[in-house]
Structure 1
Amino acid sequence: MSFPKNKITFLLIGSLFISCFVIAQDKINQKISYGNPSEVNMDSLYIHTKVDSIVNDGIQNEAFPGAQILVVKNHKIIFNKAYGYHTYDSIQKVSLDDIYDLASVTKIIGPLPALMKLHSEGKLDLDSPFSNYWKPWKRRKDKKNLTVREILAHQSGLSPYIVFLNEVLKKNGKIKKRFIQNKSNKRYKNEAYEGLFVKNRFKNKMFRQINRSKVSNVKKYKYSGLSFLIYPDLITQITQKNYTEYLQENFYTPLGTTTLGYRPKTKNFKNLIVPTEIDTLFRKGLTKNWVHDENAALLGGISGNAGLFGTSLDLAKVMQMYANYGVYDGKRYISESILREFTKIQYPENENRRGLGFDKPLINNATLSIKEAYPAPEVSPESFGHSGFTGTFVWADPKNDMIFIFLSNRVYPNRKHRNIYNLNIRPKLQQVFYKAIQN
């Protein structure tokens, strides 16, 4: 039997399309595996030389005492290296399975997957007022019409932050006993730190202040963490399940992320937990095994703003699932259309680069120099991620099939250490992996 030439061409194109589709499907059905740069057409010598130089320069300039970098390209871990020590005394070396305080990276690894899932189930409408779900805002004239979309995109005019620590400290710096006790009892259950228990009702005080906080009349990009303090309670309210259990059941356990979670001190991990700041104000000592962010601490360590801890490998699994638009190891966690919606710029006309919860590259990032860009100028406009105050940074680039994870404790010994920013370390490191791709 013979076919006309145009039919043969059609069959060949059809079979090529099917094989490409199968390859693409196989790719997103894969787990992350270990490989080396040459397998994915990257220059290994260039990567190691450049990364070693940038990180060691950062350590010498006290940008951080140690750091860890994990990079996934085409679902293969092609770089996974630890540098330096936990502290500047050079006693405890950084290890690949160390657990870090993720700070604001919590926002996209904690509440955000839950919010996306709830949106996909029709339980959270992005363009409805947030007050439909958080009832106290119904009574606030300046908040009752703010939409979920505006709030997640940092476009709502909410105040950036409230320092709740001021509420528990006297003018002389001593802790107010009516809010913090040294021993746990039925009225003081929320453990902020070893021997510091917060009054259960203090959360209500925090929420009242958030509810009463000022909202700007100007609708433009202003980063605010206030709503993220509310999300765990909101998620519990909507799902009728404990927030941390909901995350564990729907995301962390099926993804195989064994270290991701809150309050690591209570979990008896064999992994070492990297310390953050020597706190002279509140905890009066080295903050280690407990969340660094004071607002999260006053909520007992569980917040949507900060409080998650985890390893670089566990973070890579979540970010790879995002880069696959909701699928990892053959299981779908979030619908593709919803992940695409959350990871796109929402208000470009207002020069707001943000997605929904996710950070995005600067608008026109590709045209900027490495000094001006955020993150590296080579990342695709489709890419997204988030950074954390403690010196953490995660970024997924679906177009280039690359995940970049950087973990450090730049706030050691104190938060005045800002050379991670001054030396532009994270964008420079990320750029190395794009420049290493051989055409």
Structure 2
Amino acid sequence: MTQGIQQQAFPGAQLLVAKQGKIIFHQYYGYHTYDSIQKVALNDIYDLASVTKIIGPLPALMKLYEEGKLDLDIPFSTYWRPWRHLKDKKNITLRELLAHQSGLQPYIIFLNEVLRGNHLKKRFARSRISRRFPNEAYPGIFINRRFKKKVYRMISRSKVNDKKEYLYSGLASLIYPELIENLSGIPYTTYLQSQFFTPLGCNTLGYLPAKKEFKNNIVPTEVDTLFRKELTKDWVHDENAALLGGISGNAGLFATAKDLAIFMQMYMQKGVYASKRYFKEETVNTFIKVQYPENGNRRGLGFDKPLLGNDTLDLKEAYPAPQVSSESFGHAGFTGTFVWADPQNKLVFIFLSNRVYPSRTHSNIYNLNIRTELQQVFYKAQKTTN
């Protein structure tokens, strides 16, 4: 951790490890920014970035699958009408989408549609809220309510690879919140809150933290020179999620380490937490299983998994730590977040940082392999104590 801070992998971070349902390690390091003014605290709230994918839309999709409202293997276009007559998308299944086996392209930068040079196009963005511009991307930036439909249209028009092979794509995650609303008949955030966040006691977990009266500090992310023109704080870092009003399936959730530990513990315990069942065991087992190993694809349904043959790799090549079990699962986030659960070893690992401060070009978190090395420390310690 000290090495990470010294080499500007991140200005500060925290690490929480739980073993057999008990927190055995929770420590903070460094500061919110390199000016060393605000120390990291254990109850700080972080922008989860892509960790959102397995804490937001995924549990809702799992619940709808369990209730028979979603089938993993019939065309996704059965549920998502815009794809019904698209030759390259009409037969893609939800299983393929969740396992990143669909051929969808990785990302579309929707910000390019909103910016003209250094300025926001008035057609899409205004400085005041109105009926036509209700979605707040950031204080003083309100997005046209029709922009969401433009996003869906651009996804529909995007190219699909002919070859079905592993290619990580965040595009379907932008669709899932509306799909969840359509199938459940409940607003997406209300559904998550009532089904999961509130009953689990995850009090900080949610979207739009700036709108809530938390006493906790929210850790800032990037000094944005292009879109927000200042240090992004209290609002989602990911521009695509921001343009959707901060509520998206690809990013937008914020939480403390403890709330994330609760959620991952529930997954690790195959759908049960504090004597309450959230999923059937077979549902969790279905989603955490590697789906297309024959294609060299390590992914579960929504969940990331260890590299195939990870236990044979040394620390530099492994992802995550080489000693994690093949049953283990989790996800990483662009802002410098990482969550992992290992049912075989009964270990939950939560790493939170703001590695995109002051700029997303800071990549030493990857170059130094910090998260993998930290995780391995606890597997080695476990081996020693056993």
Partner of 1:386: 331
Partner of 1:96: 42
Residue 324 (structure 2) pairs with residue 368 (structure 1): no
The Cα of 1:345 is off from its aligned counterpart by: 0.2
1:302 to 247, 258, 268: 247
Partner of 1:120: 66
Partner of 1:151: 97
Q: Which runs of 4+ in 1 moved over 6 A?
A: none
Q: Distance in 1 between matches of 2:249 and 2:53?
A: 6
Amino acid corresponding to residue 32 of structure 2 in structure 1: H
Q: Distance in 2 between matches of 1:178 and 1:118?
A: 37
The Cα of 1:268 is off from its aligned counterpart by: 1.3
Q: Distance in 1 between matches of 2:353 and 2:198?
A: 25
How do 1:208-287 residues align onto structure 2 when only pairs under 5 Å count?
Answer: 208-287=153-232
Q: Which runs of 5+ in 2 are unaligned?
A: none
Partner of 2:357: 412
TM-superposition CA deviations, 1:137-183 (whole Å, max 9, x none):
0011100000110110000000110000000011x221111110000
Q: Aligned residues: percent identity?
A: 69
Partner of 1:107: 53
* SS of the residue 1:139 aligns to: coil
Partner of 1:183: 128
* SS of the residue 1:262 aligns to: coil
Amino acid corresponding to residue 123 of structure 2 in structure 1: R
Partner of 2:289: 344
Amino acid corresponding to residue 135 of structure 2 in structure 1: N
Residue 290 (structure 2) pairs with residue 290 (structure 1): no
Q: Distance in 2 between matches of 1:76 and 1:267?
A: 29
Residue 82 (structure 2) pairs with residue 136 (structure 1): yes
Q: Distance in 2 between matches of 1:124 and 1:393?
A: 28
Amino acid corresponding to residue 271 of structure 1 in structure 2: N
TM-score normalized by the length of structure 1: 0.87
* SS of the residue 1:72 aligns to: strand
* SS of the residue 1:113 aligns to: helix
Q: Distance in 1 between matches of 2:284 and 2:74?
A: 19
Q: Distance in 1 between matches of 2:88 and 2:122?
A: 34
Amino acid corresponding to residue 236 of structure 2 in structure 1: V
Q: Distance in 1 between matches of 2:23 and 2:264?
A: 13
More helix by share: 1
Q: How many residues end up aligned between the 2 structures? A: 384
Partner of 2:298: 353
Point out the structure with max Rg over C-alpha: 1
TM-superposition CA deviations, 1:232-261 (whole Å, max 9, x none):
000000000000000000000000000000
The Cα of 1:384 is off from its aligned counterpart by: 0.1
Amino acid corresponding to residue 283 of structure 1 in structure 2: R
Q: Distance in 2 between matches of 1:175 and 1:256?
A: 40
Q: Distance in 2 between matches of 1:205 and 1:74?
A: 46
* SS of the residue 2:132 aligns to: coil
Partner of 1:44: none
Q: Distance in 2 between matches of 1:434 and 1:353?
A: 21
Q: Which runs of 5+ in 1 are unaligned?
A: 1-54
Amino acid corresponding to residue 160 of structure 1 in structure 2: P
Amino acid corresponding to residue 303 of structure 1 in structure 2: S
How do 1:200-215 residues align onto structure 2 when only pairs under 5 Å count?
Answer: 200-215=145-160
The Cα of 1:92 is off from its aligned counterpart by: 0.2
1:85 to 23, 28, 31: 31
TM-score normalized by the length of structure 2: 0.99
How big is the alpha-carbon RMSD for the aligned residues of Structure 1 and Structure 2?
A: 0.4
The Cα of 1:216 is off from its aligned counterpart by: 0.4
